Amino acid sequence: MTKPGKGILAMDESNATCGTRLEGVGVENTEENRRRYRELLISTKGMGEYVGGAILFEETLYQSCKDGTSFVDALRKEGMYPGIKVDKGLRPLANSNGESWCQGLDGLAERAAEYYKQGARFCKWRSVVSIPAGPSKIAVTDCAYGLARYAAICQNAGLVPIVEPEILLDGDHDIDRNFEVASMVWAETFKYLADNNVKFDRMLLKPSMVAPGADCTKKSNAKEVAAYTLKMLNSRVPPETAGIMFLSGGLSELDSTMYLNAMNQQPNPWHVSFSYARALQNSVIKTWAGDDSRTAEAQEILLRRARENSEAQRGVFDV
Ligand code: 13P
């Protein structure tokens, strides 16, 4: 996953989120439709050249292709590691500014051992921080502490943890405010990762890019987003961290690729790459829309998006 030109395909939407995406293109949210859509993604030939791993939702880890090949084997055959989302989702955080916390630590060691047996080799835990909500001290601390406990537990189970404190794009804040919050969140996250003896060279980070809020009137170009994001990472992230795999967070397909490309045109000590869901899948699901006669066309789009982001990982993407 951290070889030159490689990134991650995030396809670990919960049943509810996957349902929203399916219903958005007129497809009913059933287990079989989720399986059909995920088979389309997993069986795209040639993905292994650009993508080293795919993050799955628990249901998907146990599903198979129509011909009986398990998704885990199909991924391995294409040269991709199966990963698993292990958090149990967000819940309201009492006494905060209407913020949330991420649950899932109870029984995590046992679940991680099961997932490893089933073939997973890496995992993800996503907490969120909202800038318009403050963020409150308690929300940031809870986010960082939960991520660190999760990472420690999963490293002990042999899984490579992806540490993802997503700073939501929602809001009208400017890029400087995002920089300030991201710096605070990553400082807190690394404090707790260190306290929990998490091995930095055996984990991956999944940050949001440092960009203006979605409703900010002052837009930034790719060069500016790259400069702010690298400045933040340089001040907070130890060089031995195995990889930095960005989320797309609602950025457009083109912006997420251009921003990544701009970062990789600057010197940095890490493998700076992608772990996109929406920025890889948006056009794919719209093209398929439940119609299997359009599978080949949808897969061609997925492969193109993977190739473009692979080029961006190497800093050689050209629109
Ligand atoms: P997006 O790329 O759509 O933000 O999703 C990445 C992800 O895995 C969020 O947890």
* Ligand 1 pocket member 83 (CB < 6 A): no
> What's the 276 CA to ligand 1 centre distance in angstroms?
5
User: What are the catalytic residues?
Assistant: 164, 206
pTM listed for this prediction: 0.97
Per-residue pLDDT, 69: 98
* Ligand 1 pocket member 135 (CB < 6 A): no
Distance between CA atoms of residues 33 and 21, nearest Å: 11
* Ligand 1 pocket member 122 (CB < 6 A): no
Q: List, for residues 77-130, the tens digit of each pLDDT value.
A: 999 999 999 999 999 999 999 999 999 999 999 999 999 999 999 999 999 999
pLDDT below 50 — which residues of the chain?
A: none
* Ligand 1 pocket member 280 (CB < 6 A): no
Per-residue pLDDT, 236: 97
Nearest CA owner, ligand 1 atom 8: 10
Per-residue pLDDT, 263: 98
Nearest CA owner, ligand 1 atom 4: 249
Nearest CA owner, ligand 1 atom 9: 247
* Nearest-atom index, ligand 1, CA of 256: 2
Nearest CA owner, ligand 1 atom 5: 277
Per-residue pLDDT, 319: 85
* Ligand 1 pocket member 278 (CB < 6 A): yes
